[in-house]
Chains A and B, each alone.
Chain A
């Protein structure tokens, strides 16, 4: 019975029509709104709002120049980049070892500890925005990148711990034991054996960390002013409550989305490398 999910006519290594088509559908669905956003960013306002959506139109760079000049999107992109990269890096440095320990070692309260990490993501930012604001003011960290980097750790480290713990758990224990017999310390095992094998998990958690930090809006809105303004804040400052300059909004939206996509492409390569290594092991 041929259902949408079956893949008839597939050779062992070959080209399967069903597979191909389904992948294509996924790509189109994911990309279409983005495509619409990008094309909108090159349209004039009247083209955007015309009764029939225009697939062919006179492109204009006006929206982008306004975004750069008027709103200084360039500086905010740099801020976002610094914040997202730093917090991702620190989350990995803190989270990967913790994940390894949870996966490998046995100690009292391990389950609860693992759960505590996760629960850090459950509190609504609305009610902790005020205390964060107060502390940041106290330590003169308002409108700095550092304060965002630190706060974002609270939701990125749990992701890293989570995803990586899974990956570490699936590495066969025999490898560990063999390494111990050869005289490696636990850190050595972690560094040389577990980490490389967990590369897919590390890559995926890095991508997610980066994305969540990049897109975070509430804390950035409340805690930054002019110096540490991040890209999402600029992207939403257009919401004046009256006009909606769609072209400019979509232009900033595109500019904001691009670095994430580029980052994911770069990190995806690691994902593939890790997979190949995993197969070889």
Chain B
């Protein structure tokens, strides 16, 4: 209760600050027609959402709009949203994983932002400043076909977490700069006495396709699809990357193909491995004494570079307004989305456990000092690839194909070449059925 009151007061104080900066426009003024509206959204049980939930009472108090959330397992989120959208359900806000963006946008389920701005000119915060968002994030999470639909809300980057004590004892003062270094130089020295140098989460599922597979394509200059959207996995660069991944197994614990995020993070936290490349969100798990044994030895760096540069894993969610909501709910939803990702609320969001996608947030030196994962994360966001995973509607199908054959590749059930051929073949089937090769469909990913 006390904590709640403190956060509440802090929230009010901050919003006053924000209000005094944003001239004539005020949230309360804009929201006065929307008192009593209820908007529904789906949330996950993750730090960013928990931070938002703490901030909800303040929003309700200011605007009279009730945000009603439902916490759903990640695996079922897309299911629930798609079912809701295709049956004219009652969600007013769409939680859009970047890989669902193409699907949601093309099915017409979410509303572009400039449409919202035209429709509700009084509701747009003059301080919205889309340029303040990291271009990579706004592009990858919120923009499809040059139209902005959502604002980056829950933002992640892949980072290299490492145990600096273990590295020091093996004679390393700094983390590896390149993947090659990691394998050839750091690997052998750190893999002994039951400990391993590295762990790569590779369980079948999105973990395999995104974290394990894609990570070894882009930094080698490869790609999933070529310019004509034909699958490209048999190209020299793709093959080089994938073969490299196979070699990594020497310096990783046995059974790595079953490691999911938890197992990888835990392996680092329990000193079983020296390095992992995982999402920025796990920083809190690794610094919590209840879950980690390496609090003092933990260090963070951007992911290692491949021959083609640094292309870290990219992931995140944006919030968008749904088409199915009636006008009143659309307006209320738009107000909420702006508010929760606004500059004014960003610091509070971060302090409650969220990760803001605005550049201005990280100009605060105190904030940056408090969260050591911020500098590598900000650096990673300068260079990423928006289509790290294609965001078109067919990605979930492709993800399943890659997950199945990617794990077979790692397990030895198929060679790299065989598995790549299979993935190519099936991917081509899927994309053909979807009409990408008839010239009728825009090649957007």
Contacts and interface: CB of A to CB of B under 8 A. Distances in A.
A237 B73 contact: yes
A6 interface: no
Interface in B206-255: 206
Counting contact residues on chain B (CB < 8 A from A), the size range is 20 to 34
Interface stretch (B64-72, B116-124, B363-371): B64-72
Given A49-B270, A51-B270, A133-B87, A238 B73 contact: yes
A118 interface: no
Contacts of A71: 71
Nearest to B207: A241
Interface centre among B206, B262, B292 (most CB of A within 10 A): B262
Given A137-B89, A222-B80, A242-B261, A237 B279 contact: no
Interface string B286-319: 0001111100000000000000000000000000
A243 B285 contact: yes
A194 B285 CA distance: 60
Contact of A44 (B80, B87, B282, B290): B290
B74 A45 contact: no
Interface in A191-231: 221-222, 225-226
B46 interface: yes
Contacts, number: 70
A96 B289 CA distance: 56
B290 A45 contact: yes
A50 interface: yes
Contact of B83 (A45, A49, A133, A238): A133
Nearest to A244: B262
B193 interface: no
A130 B279 contact: no
Interface string A103-117: 000000000000000
Contacts of B289: 46
A130 B89 CA distance: 12
A28 interface: no
Contacts of A130: 83, 87
Nearest to B206: A241
B285 A134 contact: no
Contacts of A225: 40, 70
A124 to B, nearest CB: 15
B79 A222 contact: yes
A46 B269 CA distance: 9
A49 B261 CA distance: 14
A53 B89 CA distance: 46
Interface string A8-38: 0000000000000000000000000000000
A239 B72 CA distance: 8
Nearest to B53: A70
A3 interface: no
A46 B292 CA distance: 7
Contacts of B269: 49
B70 A238 contact: no
B270 A237 contact: no
Nearest to B97: A241
Contacts of B290: 44-46
Contact of A240 (B45, B68, B87, B292): B45
B51 interface: no
A133 B40 CA distance: 18
B21 to A, nearest CB: 34
Contacts of B74: 239-242
B153 to A, nearest CB: 15
Given A46-B290, A225-B70, A243-B45, 9 more contacts: A49-B266, A51-B270, A130-B83, A133-B87, A225-B40, A237-B45, A237-B71, A241-B44, A243-B262
In the A-B complex, list the 4 residue pairs whose CB atoms are closest, starting with the nearest: A241-B74, A239-B73, A240-B45, A45-B291
8 contacts: A46-B291, A50-B270, A137-B89, A221-B72, A221-B80, A239-B74, A240-B74, A243-B285
